[in-house]
Amino acid sequence: MAELNLILLGPPGAGKGTQAEQLRTEFELAHIATGDILRQAVAEQTELGELAASYMDAGNLVPDEVIIGVLLEAVGRPNARDGFLLDGFPRTIPQAEALGSELEKLGRQLTAVLMIEVSDEEIVTRISGRRVNPASGRVYHVDFDPPKVDGVDDVDGTELVQREDDQPETVRNRLDVYHEQTAPLADYYDQLGLLQRFDGSAAPSEVFNRIRATIATLKLEDTI
Ligand code: AP5
């Protein structure tokens, strides 16, 4: 298998960022996280950030015409040439179609779409306890994955914060948006033979082991 080009799919709080952290290290992939790109743009008050902020604060999707160009540019960068892990993109059918056309133009292919499934009730519990390092995007949970010292990142000591869009009302809207606009991507990628489903209610290390085993099988099949 020349390159590993993966998509992480799943509702808000399913554990995409948590798994991405381990996957990118294990498989040396460029991790392209739309949420992190957008939050950085908002913090730096760039044109993209100013366009995106009101959508993100309300828990709505940033319009396709804003996000697609940003993401296709990231996929074409030299650091993504040997493989990428998309986290938070695509989130609509037009985004998936745009990605497919771009990869075809570049003579590249998706390896798999890793879908992490978690119930809505579990998501509300997870998101309310999430704490993040605003600089690196590293994620913790006050009960399920606490830092060694309360409120402080294990790696660089940065103070952990709660995300603006993790308020209960906003989370409910993000879930509605997910079911309406993003969940149909499961069928879309299933029909392309790319979808792999994972039970995201297991412990993070268990979810990771299952994803890693699936990727190992895909690599093996590719060499036969
Ligand atoms: P984004 O940042 O992508 O948010 P999201 O998809 O809603 O996902 P989250 O980051 O909330 O959750 P996650 O699945 O990464 O879970 P995590 O690992 O943190 O997007 C934010 C906004 O940007 C969107 O609402 C939209 O406005 C905009 N946007 C982004 N992409 C866009 C696009 N393509 N088009 C248009 N707009 C876009 O885990 C959650 C918590 O659970 C953590 O505390 C973690 O420690 C814990 N946890 C993780 N795994 C487990 C486990 N197995 N068991 C127990 N706890 C766990």
84-103 pLDDT per residue, tens: 999 999 999 999 999 999 99
Residues noted as catalytic: 16, 91, 130, 163, 174
104-135 pLDDT per residue, tens: 999 999 999 999 999 999 999 899 999 999 98
Q: Please tell me the residue having the least CA distance from ligand 1 atom 42.
A: 126
60-86 pLDDT per residue, tens: 999 999 999 999 999 999 999 999 999
Residue 190 predicted with pLDDT over 90? yes
Closest C-alpha to 12, from 99, 87, 92: 87
131-151 pLDDT per residue, tens: 999 988 899 999 989 999 999
- Give yes or no for a contact between 95 and 68, defined as CB atoms under 8 angstroms apart: yes
Distance 12 CA to ligand 1 centre (A): 4
CA atoms within 13 A on the CB side of 166: 16
Query: What is the per-residue burial (b if ≥16 Cβ within 10 Å, else e) of 28-57?
Result: ebbbbbbbbbbbbbbeeeeebbebbbebbe
Distance 105 CA to ligand 1 centre (A): 29
Distance 85 CA to ligand 1 centre (A): 14
Closest C-alpha to 175, from 135, 131, 136, 128: 128
Distance 222 CA to ligand 1 centre (A): 31
What CATH class does 4-29+82-119+182-223 carry? alpha beta
Q: Please tell me the residue having the least CA distance from ligand 1 atom 2.
A: 35
Distance 76 CA to ligand 1 centre (A): 24
Instruction: Specify the ligand 1 atom closest to the Cα of 87.
Output: 3
Instruction: Specify the ligand 1 atom closest to the Cα of 10.
Output: 14
- Mutate which of 9, 32, 38, 93 for ligand 1? The one with the most ligand atoms within 8 Å of its CB, which is 38
Instruction: Specify the ligand 1 atom closest to the Cα of 174.
Output: 25
Task: List pocket residues of ligand 1, CB cut-off 6 Å.
Answer: 10, 12-18, 34-35, 38, 55-56, 59-62, 67, 88-89, 91, 95, 126, 129-130, 139-141, 144-145, 165, 174, 200, 203-204, 207
pTM of the complete model beyond 0.75: yes
